[in-house]
Chain A
Amino acid sequence: GESVGLHLPTLSVQEGDNSIINCAYSNSASDYFIWYKQESGKGPQFIIDIRSNMDKRQGQRVTVLLNKTVKHLSLQIAATQPGDSAVYFCAENPPHNAGNMLTFGGGTRLMVKP
C-alpha cells in the first residue's frame, strides 16, 4: 500500500547550523501534510503544516517545502538548537483515510551537537 516514508533515520548537526529533514510520500492525491516533533518521553507535538496548493510555508525558525513533482516533503530548521533534538515525523492525509485522517512516516531522529 501507499505510505509516507523518510530518507534518513538519524541526522546529526552542529548547534547553530541549519537542519533539513526529508520525507518521501507516495500518494499523489494527498492534499495535506504535517510535521510533528516528538521529544523523548513525550507525545508528538505539531510543528507546521502545508496544503498541496502551496510549495513553501514558513513558521518560526522552521520552513516546510513541498515538491509535488517528486513527491517530496522537507522540514528546514534554522539555527538548530539543543532543544530541537527530537524525532520528527511527517504525515499525510491520503484520500482513502476517511476516518484515519493521517498516515504517519517512521520518523527521523535529529541530534544536535553542542
Chain B
Amino acid sequence: EAQVTQNPRYLITVTGKKLTVTCSQNMNHEYMSWYRQDPGLGLRQIYYSMNVEVTDKGDVPEGYKVSRKEKRNFPLILESPSPNQTSLYFCASSFRQGDYEQYFGPGTRLTVT
C-alpha cells in the first residue's frame, strides 16, 4: 500500500529535550515536506526537500532541522523543543516539486511542557 508513515503519533516531552519525528514514504517520491497545523493558522510549511541531500526552509523553519540522507526518509529534528512548538505535525510527499498532489502522513501530535 502506498503511504506516508510517521512515528511517533503522539509525543509529550519537556522543554529542551531533543527529539526526532520520523517520516517515511514508499512511493519513490522525490519531494518531501513537513508542516505544522495550528488552530486558526492552517497548515504551514516548516522545511522541504526536493531530493536526497537537498533541503530548504519553508515558512516557519525556526527551531527545526531536517535531513534527507535517503529518498524514502525525511526526519524532523527538534534540538531544543519549546512550548510554542506544541502542535500537530504532518509529513507529506509528492512525485517531484511542481507535482501539487501531496500525500500526507497521519500526523504527530507533539506537546512540549
Of A10-18, A54-62, A72-80, A103-111, which stretch is located at the interface?
A: A103-111
Q: Is the contact region of chain B dominated by helix, strand, or loop, or is it mixed? A: strand
Is A52 close to B, CB under 8 A?
no
> Which residues, 23 to 53 on A, are CB-close (under 8 Å) to B?
32, 34, 41-46, 49
Is A99 close to B, CB under 8 A?
yes
- B-facing mask of A56-96, CB < 8 A → 1, else 0? 00000000000000000000000000000000010101000
Known: A42-B106, A89-B43, A106-B41. A99 touches B101 (CB 8 A): no
The 6 closest A-B pairs by CB, nearest first: A43-B104, A104-B43, A106-B42, A104-B42, A44-B104, A46-B101
Interface of A toward B, CB cutoff 8 Å? 4, 32, 34, 41-46, 49, 89, 91, 93, 99-102, 104-107
